[in-house]
Amino acid sequence: DEAMRRRLEKRIYIPLPTFQGRVALFEISMKDIHVEPDVDLTTLAEKTDGYSGADVANVCRDAAMMSVRRLMDRVRAKGLSGTQLHQELVANKDQLNHSKVSEADFLAAIAKVHKSVGDTDLARFDQWSQEFGAA
């Protein structure tokens, strides 16, 4: 309905980040996180082609949580629960504060976090833009 389309706010098409954009997103997302020096952001950017900015942020968040998951797994393997579990986690707080995110952590996160924008979505956005325009 053309009348309805006129009442809607303009749509703004923001394309997916380029290779350099994804490298920058990894840098920005991990600026306050300790990362192993051998992590290659260009490799990560190559492996996340087609990912949105939010997808890259989710990869970084998931990778940063890997050390917490490893610690939780070790504590659970000891059969601890409740107060004992909490005490063990507090006792290992320094280990978490000084742990670094490895390339393996990033690759595991990439395997779990999939791109949220598919080729069909991109084609639909492009068609809309050509048909009705976008800011």
Instruction: Look up residue 17 and give its DSSP letter.
Output: P
- Whole-structure pTM value: 0.79
Q: Is the torsion defined by CA of 33, 38, 41, 47 positive or negative? A: negative
β-strand partners of 101: 35
Exposure class string for 106-118: b at 16+ Cβ within 10 A, else e:
bbbbbeebebeee
The region of weakest confidence among 75-79, 90-94, 103-107, 130-134 is 130-134
Residue 70: other Cβ atoms inside 10 A: 14
Of the chain, the percentage scoring pLDDT greater than 90 comes to 48
Query: What pLDDT, on a 0 to 100 scale, did the predictor assign at position 8?
Result: 64
Task: With beta carbons less than 8 A apart as the criterion, state whether 102 and 39 touch.
Answer: yes
Given a cut of 90, whether residue 2 has pLDDT beyond it is no
Four-residue CA torsion sign, 115, 119, 125, 130:
positive
